[in-house]
A and B are shown apart, each in its own frame.
Chain A
Amino acid sequence: AQSVAQPEDQVNVAEGNPLTVKCTYSVSGNPYLFWYVQYPNRGLQFLLKYITGDNLVKGSYGFEAEFNKSQTSFHLKKPSALVSDSALYFCAVRDAANQGGKLIFGQGTELSVKP
C-alpha cells in the first residue's frame, strides 16, 4: 500500500533562513512524487514533481526538492525563506506501477515564516 508521512505538523523559520519541509514515502514500485502548497482560502497549487532522472528537482517560487531513494524521502527546500511562503504544504505520491491510481497525500505541514 502507498503512504506518505510528513513528520512535522508545523515548521517555524525566520525570514532569510533556509527552510526544509520533510516528506517520506512508501510505494511498492517506483514513486511519482509531488509537492503542493495551499494558501489560506485557496486551492492547492502545484510546486514541483519528481518522475525520473535528476534527484534534485527545481520548482516554482524558488523551491526545490531532493529525491533520495535509499531513504525514501523527498524533502522540500528553499535557500532563503520569505514571510509570503507561510502556508500549508502537502507532499503526495503515486505508484508508477499503478498508473490510474489515486494520489496519496501526506497530512500536511504548516510553515510559518516570521520577519
Chain B
Amino acid sequence: DTEVTQTPKHLVMGMTNKKSLKCEQHMGHRAMYWYKQKAKKPPELMFVYSYEKLSINESVPSRFSPECPNSSLLNLHLHALQPEDSALYLCASSLGQAGNQPQHFGDGTRLSIL
C-alpha cells in the first residue's frame, strides 16, 4: 500500500464537466506535487506546493487548477478538459522541496475525457 492516497482511481468525464482529483498524505511531508503521465512515458511535472504555497507552475493550462487546503491535502480541479488531457494523474509528496528528498507517489487517477 502506498502512503499517498489518491481518489478517485478512475474518472471519466465530458469536456464540459467540472471534477476534482484528491490527494492525501499523513507522513508530515511539506512538499506536494501533481504530475501527468502518458502510457509508458516519464511523469511530467505540473505543480509543486511547498508549505501549502504554490511554488512551481509548469505553464499548465488554466483548465487545471490546483489547491492545497492544508499540509495533508492536495486537490486538482478540472474544468473544460480536452481529449489530449486523458492520462494518469499522479500525486507525490516529499519531506521538503530540497533536492535530496525522494518523492513518494500515489497510485494515480486514470482520467479519460470523452
A residues with a Cβ closer than 8 A to B are: 32, 34, 36, 41-46, 49, 51, 88, 90, 94-96, 98-103, 105-108, 110
B4 touching A51 by the CB < 8 A rule? no
Which residues of chain A are near B6, meaning CB under 8 Å? 43
B residues with a Cβ closer than 8 A to A are: 2, 4, 6, 40-43, 45, 48, 50, 55-56, 58, 90, 92, 97-100, 102-108
A42 touching B99 by the CB < 8 A rule? no
B99 touching A99 by the CB < 8 A rule? yes
B99 touching A105 by the CB < 8 A rule? no
In the assembled complex, the Cα of A102 lies from the Cα of B57 at a distance in Å of 11
A46 touching B104 by the CB < 8 A rule? yes
Which residues of chain A are near B40, meaning CB under 8 Å? 88, 108, 110
Q: Provide the main secondary structure of the chain B interface.
A: loop
Which residues of chain A are near B99, meaning CB under 8 Å? 32, 94-96, 98-101
B102 touching A102 by the CB < 8 A rule? no
Residue of A nearest to B98 (CB): A99
In the assembled complex, the Cα of A46 lies from the Cα of B50 at a distance in Å of 20
In the assembled complex, the Cα of A105 lies from the Cα of B55 at a distance in Å of 19
A49 touching B100 by the CB < 8 A rule? yes
A sample of 18 more A-B contacts (CB under 8 A), given A42-B107, A100-B97, is A32-B99, A42-B2, A42-B108, A43-B92, A43-B108, A44-B105, A46-B104, A95-B99, A98-B99, A99-B97, A99-B99, A100-B50, A101-B99, A102-B48, A102-B58, A103-B103, A105-B43, A108-B42
